[in-house]
Structure 1
Amino acid sequence: MAEQANNPAIDKEITNSTAAPNGANANTGGGYGTYDYSNPMAHIHSRTDNVARLPAFGGEFQPGLYKSVETRKFANPAPLGLCAFALTTFVLSLVNMGARGVSAPNVVVPIALGYGGLVQLLAGMWEMAVGNTFGATALSSYGGFWIAYGILLTPNWNILGAGGPYATDAAKAIDPKMGESAVGFFLTGWFIFTTILLLCTLRSTVMFFLLFFTLDIAFLMLACGAFANDNGALEASKKLTQAGGGFGMLAAFLAWYNAFAGIADSSNSFFLIPVFHFPWSEQGREVRMNNKTERHTV
């Protein structure tokens, strides 16, 4: 089959069969033949109205055998990742705030593993394919965060519960000096990571910056709440956790806001929402230059 694939006659037949009408290039991604792969079966296809059909073994389903489609267009995966993050953060923040007397975070586990974790991780990988390094790093990392946090809270695994790895040997009860400190370490690490991402949003938009700013403060408050519980300051720990829940709630709604800004356009919405570019950002400078040019023209 390898010899057949290297046969010049077959290669010529493939090239001719995938040529677009009117002299268009078959590899340009136009409306006609968009695939020109040296597959031994690529010349076996049917035509309807002179439109070449993709052979059964064509496309990119088998990486390494065929060229990638250069003009392929990806959908924007960022709104999906933002929505996954927003919903999971929203539910956990309600629990941290003690809304309606709910204090057990068990309901967060399936959401964290399925939506905030898996779906957001997939969105991050798609951001990688699109070529957005920041989006891939942020969404994939927070997807991993929710998976890890879901595992941490899984009741059957009992990581932080009685008899778990942080329990004392004598009483087999939870040791707050170990369990809460461990959670504090976990949240502090995510606070540091979010601060790094926050610095990378200073040239984006106000709404995007506020998303990471409120999330950063939420991680800080929750980490401080865990350490306060470790020190025995239960009342302070409760207040700090509630504050973390409040900032988390703001982060959730800001994530939904940014997601809507990425989804809505003239084809599906009667209105668009502003994201407010920073004056020193590239878009902000363009707006100032356009306004200045208009004033000079007038």
Structure 2
Amino acid sequence: MKTRQNQIFANAAPLGLFGFAMTTILLNIQNAGFFSLSVMIMSMGVFFGGIAQIIAGILEWRRANGFGALAFISYGSFWLTLIFIWVAPHAGLTSADPVSMGWYLTMWGLFTTVLFLCTLRGNTIGKCIFGTLVVLFFMLAFANFMESHFLHTLAGYVGILCGGFAFYEASALILNERYERTVLPL
């Protein structure tokens, strides 16, 4: 019988990273103007960006990975709150105006800056993910404050890059583990 000390837990980071990556890429393809916001993005936001990341965060917590737990649970919650902001007006709640959305995104930018500072002691890909995420949140915040369609569109391209970095890290983690060698360097 396994005791708590010798239990081995699987690495949940690929699940969380893929949830973050795929949802971020899809939303930012929309932000860049390639298609309109639809139920597809909202579904990804709730189930893969939101719930799957929160599950990954809980599993990372069990592995004693405080950074992974904080990041996945927080960004999973980001996706759920963002979808609620979009859907709640249909239930009669007041819509978020550009200024309130600017502050919402600013707070996420500040939070992400703290996590980016933590990545400075980690691998390069983590710095790329969180560095572009900081830029993305602040670009989207300023796009809302200034009501700038151009800046919002430009932010979409930064978001696609950010999601691409996360997709790469998730792929590297799962492939390197599966093949028991470095298939994709981190």
User: What is the TM-score of this pair, normalised by structure 1?
Assistant: 0.59
**Structure-2 change in CA distance of 1:266 and 1:204 (3 Å):** closer
Q: Which has the higher contact order (CA 8 A, sep 6+)?
A: 2
Q: Does 2:89 match 1:158?
A: yes
Q: CA RMSD in A?
A: 2.0
Q: 2:25 aligns with which of 90, 108, 119?
A: 90
**Aligned position for 1:44:** none
Q: Does 2:5 match 1:70?
A: yes
- 1:271 is displaced (CA, Å) by 5.9
CA contact (8 A) 2:176 2:184 kept: no
CA contact (8 A) 1:158 1:164 kept: yes
Supply the distance in 1 between the matched residues of 2:145 and 2:36 (Cα, whole angstroms). 18
Supply the distance in 2 between the matched residues of 1:110 and 1:125 (Cα, whole angstroms). 21
- 1:239 is displaced (CA, Å) by 1.1
**Structure-2 change in CA distance of 1:71 and 1:164 (3 Å):** closer
**Aligned position for 2:57:** 124
Supply the distance in 1 between the matched residues of 2:157 and 2:139 (Cα, whole angstroms). 10
**Aligned position for 2:159:** 248
In structure 1, runs of 5+ residues without a counterpart are: 1-33, 36-67, 167-177, 230-236, 276-298
Q: Does 2:167 match 1:263?
A: no
Matched AA of 1:70: Q
Supply the distance in 1 between the matched residues of 2:9 and 2:132 (Cα, whole angstroms). 30
State the identity %. 35
- 1:225 is displaced (CA, Å) by 0.5
Q: Does 2:66 match 1:133?
A: yes
What is the count of residue pairs matched by the alignment? 186
**Aligned position for 1:296:** none
CA contact (8 A) 1:105 1:153 kept: no
- 1:103 is displaced (CA, Å) by 3.0
**Structure-2 change in CA distance of 1:186 and 1:105 (3 Å):** farther
Runs of 4+ more than 4 Å apart: none
- 1:107 is displaced (CA, Å) by 2.9
Between structures 1 and 2, the one with greater helix share: 2
Q: Does 2:11 match 1:80?
A: no
Supply the distance in 2 between the matched residues of 1:205 and 1:269 (Cα, whole angstroms). 19
